């Protein structure tokens, strides 16, 4: 059975999804969960792109030791040196350096000749190899590159010290047959290819990212690059969970496996979904809500007689448990802590106590507390809140079919002062947001609002995700509460606090090398 290395780029390529805005603590939490999942390589970010990215990559490199941490770099001396500063304290410093190789990219984006591109790539790899034991080189837009040129530049960068060669379908253009041909050509026409691992990285613009990844593995790729839930720029990336489960279920066909801890898949998917605000579609393969649901009577009858009639993947394989009650209002702190540990909680005692208080409050309102409820409370306590510049103290909403909705809010300001404001709106949520804008005393433009429940039933927790433009910056926020309106207020305040935190961080960090 051939081992396929999993290169997860959720924190780099995945975070480039429109509307996704992860902060420092959220990135670290996702990285720790990816480590529990058993990911071989975590691409933690693009250190030279911003001070915030540098700090996140550095913190992940210093914290996560069970996975190799890497950072993206252009073929520029500054990028490579900055990436080393961010990653030098990791267990296995690794860099991912790239340059475009397709005719259209070389001519219009780089404005370089093929010879200049080879020279630039070789120089970058040689510089990176001076400090990094592992150097991955990527041929951006490889799937639209001329194969003889691709073979020539790969030969050169391997001689320069590259240990991994990535051939990405950057724009999601290729097909399974074509990507198989490309990997086959490189394997046959690059004489030193045995000194490097071939990697595949595919986008989903034509809906073939997973199929292309599997075809590349069949044709020699020893590493697959993917994201949790398939998130990423445009239509997204190849889905980690779909590739991992496909290789596991069809070992007879692919003769390869990732070695991931598959029972951590559902938990990883849920965490990424909650922190990015990107909902997993119900019909999403492996992790969607309907992935193990059987509506058809014929299917139900077959599954009752023998699950294998219609269920090729068991829910338990990927960590999906029944939505049964796991704790109640009489559960003690010890049992509560043990259950959170089972769910992957690794927060502080203060965060544990905060989650326990929230749990007791919820148990007074909701009879059945499920794992999904606990996961939501746990996420909110550990990574769900920013430094609280603005804090919600009380919220009162008056609403009636013949009355004008009015919200009255008591808030604690960054100065420590407590103020109370009221405002009206065409609906309850608008009244709340008009009141909050009065308190903040600056324009806050709401650009996106979405609400969902953690579980089925009228007593479910509400999760609200918003995107706002505040102080010249677009920021996302989220809030969780038993009450929809309270969750809406929390999400709005969270977005504003995140903007302030980011602004203060940038003011404190003037040089990324000093982070």
Q: Where are the alpha helices (DSSP H) in 145-294?
A: 147-160, 176-189, 209-218, 240-249, 251-254, 265-276
Q: Is 189 annotated as a binding residue?
A: no
Q: Is 201 annotated as a binding residue?
A: yes
309 Cβ contact list (under 8 Å, min separation 6): 299, 302, 303
Q: Is 105 annotated as a binding residue?
A: no
Q: Where are the alpha helices (DSSP H) in 222-332?
A: 240-249, 251-254, 265-276, 297-305
Question: SS in 3 state form for 20-87?
Answer: CCCCHHHHHHHHHHHHHHCCCEEEEECHHHCHHHHHHHHHHHHHCCCCEEEEEEECCHHHHHHHHHHH
Q: Which helix (H) or strand (E) holds 100?
A: strand 94-100
Alpha-carbon distance of 125 to 136, in angstroms, equals 8
Asked whether 152 and 190 are in contact (CB, 8 A), the reply is no
Alpha-carbon distance of 125 to 492, in angstroms, equals 45
Q: Is 403 annotated as a binding residue?
A: no
Task: List the structure tokens of 352.
Answer: 């544990």
The DSSP output letter for 280 is P
Alpha-carbon distance of 205 to 202, in angstroms, equals 9
Q: Which helix (H) or strand (E) holds 173?
A: none
For 360, other C-beta atoms within 10 Å of its C-beta total: 13
Q: Of the candidates 392, 477, 482, which has an alpha carbon nearest to the alpha carbon of residue 440?
A: 392
For 99, other C-beta atoms within 10 Å of its C-beta total: 23
For 148, other C-beta atoms within 10 Å of its C-beta total: 9
Positions at the binding site: 13, 201, 203, 237
Binding-site positions for Mn(2+): 13, 201, 203, 237
């Amino acid at each position: 059975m051939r081992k396929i290395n999993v290169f997860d780029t959720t924190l780099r390529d995945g975070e480039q999804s429109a509307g996704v805005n992860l902060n420092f603590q959220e990135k670290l939490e996702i990285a720790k969960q990816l480590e529990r999942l058993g990911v071989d390589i975590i691409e933690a970010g693009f250190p030279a792109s911003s001070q915030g990215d540098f700090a996140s990559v550095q913190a992940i490199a210093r914290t996560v030791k069970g996975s190799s941490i890497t950072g993206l770099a252009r073929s520029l001396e500054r990028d490579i040196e900055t990436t080393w500063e961010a990653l030098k304290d990791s267990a296995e410093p690794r860099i991912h350096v790239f340059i475009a190789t397709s005719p259209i990219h070389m001519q219009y984006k780089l404005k370089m000749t093929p010879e200049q591109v080879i020279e630039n790539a070789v120089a970058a790899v040689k510089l990176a190899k001076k400090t990094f034991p592992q150097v991955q080189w990527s041929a951006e837009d490889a799937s639209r590159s001329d194969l003889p040129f691709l073979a020539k530049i790969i030969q050169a960068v391997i001689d320069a010290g590259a240990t991994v060669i990535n051939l990405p379908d950057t724009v999601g253009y290729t097909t399974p047959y074509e990507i198989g041909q490309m990997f086959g050509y490189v394997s046959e026409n690059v004489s030193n290819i045995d000194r490097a691992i071939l990697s595949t990285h595919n986008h989903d613009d034509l809906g073939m990212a997973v199929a292309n990844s599997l075809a590349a593995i069949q044709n020699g790729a020893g590493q697959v690059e993917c994201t949790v839930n398939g998130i990423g720029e445009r239509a997204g990336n190849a889905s980690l969970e779909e590739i991992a489960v496909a290789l596991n279920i069809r070992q007879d066909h692919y003769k390869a496996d990732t070695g991931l801890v598959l029972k951590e898949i559902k938990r990883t998917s849920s965490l990424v979904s909650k922190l990015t605000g990107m909902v997993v579609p119900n019909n999403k393969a492996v992790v969607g809500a309907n992935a193990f649901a059987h509506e058809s009577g014929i299917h139900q009858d077959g599954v009752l007689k023998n699950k294998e009639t219609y269920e090729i993947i068991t829910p338990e394989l990927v960590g999906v448990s029944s939505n049964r009650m796991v704790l109640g209002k009489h559960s003690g702190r010890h049992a509560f802590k043990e259950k959170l540990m089972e769910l992957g909680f690794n927060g502080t005692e203060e965060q544990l106590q905060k989650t326990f208080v929230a749990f007791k409050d919820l148990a007074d309102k909701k009879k059945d507390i499920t794992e999904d409820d606990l996961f939501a409370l746990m996420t909110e306590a550990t990574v769900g809140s920013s430094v609280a510049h603005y804090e919600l103290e009380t919220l009162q909403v008056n609403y009636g079919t013949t009355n004008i909705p009015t919200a009255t809010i008591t808030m604690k300001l960054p100065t420590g002062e407590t103020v109370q404001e009221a405002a009206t709106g065409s609906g309850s949520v608008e009244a709340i947001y008009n009141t909050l804008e009065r308190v903040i005393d600056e324009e806050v433009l709401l650009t996106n609002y979405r609400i969902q429940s953690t579980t089925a039933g009228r007593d479910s927790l509400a999760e609200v995700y918003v995107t706002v433009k505040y102080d010249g910056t677009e920021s996302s926020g989220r809030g969780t509460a038993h009450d929809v309106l309270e969750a809406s207020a929390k999400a709005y305040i969270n977005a504003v606090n995140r903007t302030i935190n980011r602004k203060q961080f940038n003011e404190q960090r003037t040089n990324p090398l000093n982070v």
